[in-house]
Structure 1
Amino acid sequence: MAHIDLNLIRTLVKLYETRSVTLTAEQLYVTQPSVSYSLARLRELCADRLFVRTRDGMEPTVIAEQLYVTFQQSLTQIDGAISSRRHFEPALSEQRFRLAMTDLGEMALLPVILRHLHAQAPGVELEVLPLEIDKVDEWLITGKVSAAICSRPLSTPGIERQFIVAERYVCVINERYAPSPDSLTLEQFIRQRHAVIPRSSGHGMAEDVLGSLGIRRKISLVVPHFSILPALLRDSDLMVVLPYQIACTFAASVPLKVYELPFEVAPFDVAIHWQSRSVASPAERWFRKAIIEAVGGGGDDDPARAMLNSEKMA
């Protein structure tokens, strides 16, 4: 099947959906003998009957059902790629975009991104993939995702980036267990029990600094995602290092004390990354532009954006 005609694929997909040679011919604007000929070619190529004529129509075999899933997805991608290269109308599009981001990004940025996208393109689909920092370069290069939002710069050739948000790290603890009403000393920081998130989340800068300073702290809990932290911090004395924007978001629902870190960690930029080759696609360009507009100033009515703009990042 290395050189299978694209028209044969369209015939199988349409025949599967209509269960009728007549309807397939009408919808593909060909004759019924053409559909029958295409079906015969498919049967020869696949070494399977593919469809069996019954009183209810053309019933697909197991092989046809398996092929339909793959062929239908492939046709959607091919048609979308061709149409988006020529022209892209957000208001009429039903295209699916894939965005990789951390659970922090989901909590802080996804609501305003989604609202901004759907205001311009109510029919588009957005699929969010959990960011895996060690794999995201490959995802972008292979086209598995349209874009990725993360704080760690991606240095792989063929990937471009644009700044969207400035951030810094702080540490938080339930107010009941705060060791100091004001600033936090390094000794207090070390004595406290800590919860941490693995480096695969994309947030390892504070850990790098602690390692370079030879500072060891008591780690009592390791969790895979930041999103569980508000529930944990509500009733425990655990301390957590996390970005300021998320600290403020958490503090809106949990009584938290937010401290500046008692050691220096450089501020960092959150950026959107994409594959260089996708620049030529009008659809991909619109998608990136919409995200940048939403996060960079197109959504000040969003609570996370309002909080971010309420204080200049250090």
Structure 2
Amino acid sequence: MRPSLLCWKVFIKQIIQKMKINVVDIRKLDLNLSVVFLAVWQERSVTKAASRLALSQAATSAALARLRETCGDALFVRTRGGMEPTPRASAMAEQLESGVAHLWHVLTQHQTFDPATTVRSFSIGMSDDFELAIGPGLSRLVRDEGGQVSLIFRQTNRHTVEQMLNDREIDLAVVSGTVRRAWITQEHIGDAGYACLVDPEALDCPLPLTVEDYLRLPHLLVSYSGRSGIVDIALNALGKRRVVHTALTHFSAVPAFLTGVRAVVTLPSHAATALERMAALAVCPVPLDLGEYPVQLLSRRDGDGDPALEWLKEKIRAASVSALDVAGAEADSRPLAESRPTLAG
């Protein structure tokens, strides 16, 4: 549960008294204004900030006006793209976000957690490739040790994770790529590569695939946008292109579309390995050099030190290392076709 504004005021008052700061001076400030400031900063919109805070737009605008008067700065300037922060606002935002995170940590640092007896539910954000590869192992680890702990997996990716963490829809997230926010704690927990998945009974060519076979086969595409992916970027660099006959948004749908079909799909290797175990499909190396990408564990900074979250992070690390290492080892052990160009080629 988030600390109430009253708790914050009491805590701040205690700190001020210890520091022998004049409490009368600080009481002249409306601490609600800092909440409004952070909402506008994160949403870049007065309307969205008002909705998020359950305030009227007029009340939010009035609070912003008081903020401007208090700070002696415009703070946010209305542009076609939204409310753009001034340099003063940008400097304030990082300090306020860090301050709120520290305050939350101080208020909750004495919490205790026993996974065997504490009843608690965690929401974890993952795209379904990580859910397929990491989720089952994580569930087993939690079940073995946390008898009263339940997990809720939520569909998340790097485009939606910031908002979901900010709105506390999820407690933690596993995503690809990098997120840079002062209020988010980011931990690198591994690296992922790519592999091909096929139905070997439906193909008219041997495995592993050569680049010629790879380009000749129809492709399934799994993409958030449904338009293109890293394979197309790599092929463009080689002056080549592929034919995508079906685009999907969920990795879990691949077996239904690929089984019995003469086609190939290029997936994160951990997802390909997980799907191979679920269906009569085969994993083989990608005949292109697609490189690797980082896998990150994200959480709100104001949850740092929470013993329950730290326990769950430990389980996610263990499940992730297992899934990513197994997928990487299996991909490395599979032979490559001889004609394998690289991006530099």
TM-score normalised by the chain length of structure 1: 0.63
1:209 aligns with 2:234: yes
Give the structure 2 partner of residue 186 of structure 1.
211
Q: How does 1:288-303 map to 2 (within 5 A)?
A: 288-296=313-321
- Gap change, CA 1:120 and 1:176, over 3 Å in 2: closer
Give yes or no for contact 1:173–1:239 (8 Å, CA) kept in 2: yes
Q: Of the candidates 143, 165, 175, which is equivalent to residue 168 of structure 2?
A: 143
Displacement of 1:149 in angstroms is 1.0
Displacement of 1:262 in angstroms is 2.1
Structure 2: gaps of 5 or more residues: 8-105, 334-345
Which residue type is aligned with residue 288 of structure 1?
A: K
- Gap change, CA 1:222 and 1:312, over 3 Å in 2: closer
Q: Of the candidates 260, 272, 292, which is equivalent to residue 235 of structure 1?
A: 260
Give the structure 2 partner of residue 13 of structure 1.
none
Separation in 2, partners of 1:215, 1:159: 39
1:102-145 CA-partner distances (Å, limit 9, x unpaired): 21222211111112112222112211111133110222234321
Give yes or no for contact 1:84–1:283 (8 Å, CA) kept in 2: no
Separation in 1, partners of 2:222, 2:328: 26
1:170 aligns with 2:195: yes
Give the structure 2 partner of residue 99 of structure 1.
124
Separation in 1, partners of 2:179, 2:311: 22
Give the structure 2 partner of residue 115 of structure 1.
140
Q: Which secondary structure state, in structure 1, belongs to the residue aligned with residue 164 of structure 2?
A: helix
Q: Which secondary structure state, in structure 2, belongs to the residue aligned with residue 92 of structure 1?
A: coil
Q: Of the candidates 157, 178, 185, which is equivalent to residue 132 of structure 1?
A: 157
Q: Of the candidates 161, 176, 184, which is equivalent to residue 159 of structure 1?
A: 184
1:180-216 CA-partner distances (Å, limit 9, x unpaired): 3244233322221111112359x94334433444532
- Gap change, CA 1:183 and 1:294, over 3 Å in 2: closer
Separation in 2, partners of 1:309, 1:189: 21
Separation in 2, partners of 1:168, 1:309: 7
Separation in 1, partners of 2:291, 2:324: 22
1:278-309 CA-partner distances (Å, limit 9, x unpaired): 11322222221222133335xxxxxx689548
Deviates more, 1:189-198 or 1:288-297: 288-297
Give the structure 2 partner of residue 245 of structure 1.
270
Q: Which secondary structure state, in structure 1, belongs to the residue aligned with residue 313 of structure 2?
A: helix
Give the structure 1 partner of residue 308 of structure 2.
283
Separation in 2, partners of 1:212, 1:83: 51
Give the structure 2 partner of residue 218 of structure 1.
243
Separation in 1, partners of 2:285, 2:317: 28
Q: How does 1:260-279 map to 2 (within 5 A)?
A: 260-279=285-304
Displacement of 1:148 in angstroms is 0.8
Give yes or no for contact 1:97–1:146 (8 Å, CA) kept in 2: yes
- Gap change, CA 1:4 and 1:253, over 3 Å in 2: closer
Q: Which has the larger radius of gyration?
A: 1
Give the structure 1 partner of residue 338 of structure 2.
none
Q: Which secondary structure state, in structure 2, belongs to the residue aligned with residue 222 of structure 1?
A: strand
Separation in 2, partners of 1:158, 1:115: 30
Give yes or no for contact 1:178–1:257 (8 Å, CA) kept in 2: no
Runs of 4+ in 1 over 4 A off after TM superposition: 3-6, 81-85, 211-214, 304-307
